[in-house]
């Protein structure tokens, strides 16, 4: 990874360490929360026999869910050492140490043996990586032949408005998303087949409503300064209004994609 990419990854990881991100998004840092994770895991054929890799696992909520509810054995990796430590502690508290492990790693240089996982999930993170092709090639290499990949992410039908290119747009993963065909193309050329893409726009209205509600709470209760939840998002109400309008006009949506490693 060159120095410019290094700073992009570490800047992005630091963003997701901010207490306000967990406050706004909850423990699952993606639209649809654990409900969508269950849907993605089922579509990716996660079972009690699965060895699963969660790429960019955040603070490990998906790993814990897959271990506790699907019986899978899960490895989570993330660029943020702070989130990896949070994931380890939460897993310990939940009594899931025997089914989960976490390590700090860059998604573009996965430190795992070839053909060692049955399933790889990547939720709301693929479009944050510097080079999507490189990341998918790396995931392809660590999956067993016939293994499954499951992705959830924003998709775009139009260029994002300028206001969504800022900090909140990045936290919401919308700024660098691809079109549906763009995801299909990149999966296909990195060696995946039987690609299935489903639009799950139901996740977005809920997410926007939740963030708006919590931003309002933050502002009215004036707790930000005392809790470490303070961060400059510009004018968050305006950014959210733009996002809502952009989605309503068909400019963006959310999808899950599953595919098989050839």
User: Considering the rule CB under 6 A, would residue 128 count as an interface residue with ligand SAM?
Assistant: yes
Secondary structure of the chain: what % helix, strand, coil (to 5)? 45, 20, 30
Kindly state the smallest distance separating residue 137's Cβ from ligand SAM, in Å: 14
Query: Cα(99)–Cα(85) distance, rounded to whole angstroms?
Result: 16
Give 176 or 187: the residue with its C-beta nearer to ligand SAM.
176
Strand partners, 151: 122, 257
Pairing of strands 117-123, 252-261: unpaired
Measured CA to CA in angstroms, residue 115 lies from 3, 145, 214 at distances of 29, 7, 42
Q: What is the largest CA-CA distance in the chain?
A: 53
Q: Which of 32, 40, 41, 58 binds ligand SAM (CB under 6 A)?
A: 58
Of the candidate residues 123, 140, 192, 256, the single one contacting ligand SAM (CB under 6 A): 123
Q: Which is nearer to ligand SAM, 40 or 259 (CB)?
A: 40
CA distance 129 to 76: 16
Q: Which CB sits closer to ligand SAM, 62 or 73?
A: 62
Does 56 interact with ligand SAM (rule: CB under 6 A)?
Answer: yes
- Of 123 and 242, nearer to ligand SAM (C-beta) is 123
Q: Which residue, 13 or 168, has its beta carbon nearer to ligand SAM?
A: 13
Residue nearest to ligand SAM (CB): 58
Binding of ligand SAM at residue 125 (CB under 6 A)?
yes
Question: Which residue, chain included where needed, has tokens 């430590």?
Answer: 85
Scanning 55-131, the segments in alpha helix (DSSP H) are 61-70, 81-93
- Give every strand in the sheet of 100-104, ordered side by side: 100-104, 73-78, 51-55, 117-123, 143-156, 252-261, 192-199
Of 72, 84, 124, 174, the one binding ligand SAM by CB under 6 A: 124
CA 65 to each of CA 40, 41, 74, 128: distance values in angstroms, whole numbers, following the listed order:
12, 10, 10, 23
Using CB under 6 A, which of the segments 45-53, 55-63, 142-150, 206-214 binds ligand SAM? 55-63
State yes or no: residue 13 binds ligand SAM (CB under 6 A). yes
Pick the piece of the chain touching ligand SAM (CB under 6 A) from 121-129, 155-163, 208-216, 223-231: 121-129
Strand partners, 152: 123, 256
Could you tell me which of 116, 52, 61, 50 has the C-alpha nearest to residue 89?
A: 61
Q: How many residues bind ligand SAM (CB under 6 A)?
A: 24
Stretch of residues binding ligand SAM (CB under 6 A), selected from 79-87, 186-194, 231-239, 252-260: 79-87
Among 108, 118, 153, 242, binds ligand SAM (CB under 6 A): 108
Which residues sit at the interface with ligand SAM, rule CB under 6 A? 9, 12-13, 16, 28-30, 56-58, 61, 78-80, 83, 106-108, 123-125, 128-129, 173
């Amino acid at each position: 990874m060159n120095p410019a990419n290094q700073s992009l990854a570490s800047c992005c990881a630091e963003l997701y360490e901010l207490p306000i991100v967990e406050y706004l998004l909850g423990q699952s840092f993606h639209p649809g929360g654990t409900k969508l994770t269950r849907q993605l895991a089922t579509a990716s054929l996660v079972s009690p026999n699965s060895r699963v890799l969660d790429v960019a696992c955040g603070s490990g909520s998906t790993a814990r869910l897959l271990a506790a509810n699907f019986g899978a054995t899960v490895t989570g990796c993330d660029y943020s050492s702070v989130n990896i430590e949070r994931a380890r502690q939460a897993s310990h508290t939940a009594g899931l140490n025997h089914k989960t492990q976490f390590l700090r790693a860059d998604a573009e240089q996965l430190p795992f043996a070839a053909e060692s996982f049955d399933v790889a999930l990547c939720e709301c993170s693929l479009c944050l990586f510097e080079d999507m092709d490189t990341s998918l090639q790396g995931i392809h290499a660590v999956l067993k032949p016939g293994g499954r990949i499951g992705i959830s992410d924003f998709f775009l039908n139009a260029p994002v408005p300028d206001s969504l290119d800022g900090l909140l747009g990045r936290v919401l993963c919308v700024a660098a998303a691809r079109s549906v065909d763009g995801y299909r193309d990149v999966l296909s050329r990195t060696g995946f087949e039987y690609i299935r893409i489903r639009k799950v726009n139901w996740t977005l209205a809920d997410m926007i409503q939740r963030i708006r509600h919590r931003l309002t709470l933050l502002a009215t209760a004036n707790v930000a300064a005392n809790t470490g939840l303070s961060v400059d998002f510009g004018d968050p109400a305006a950014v959210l209004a733009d996002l809502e309008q952009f989605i309503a006009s068909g400019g963006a949506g959310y999808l899950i994609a599953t595919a098989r490693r050839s």
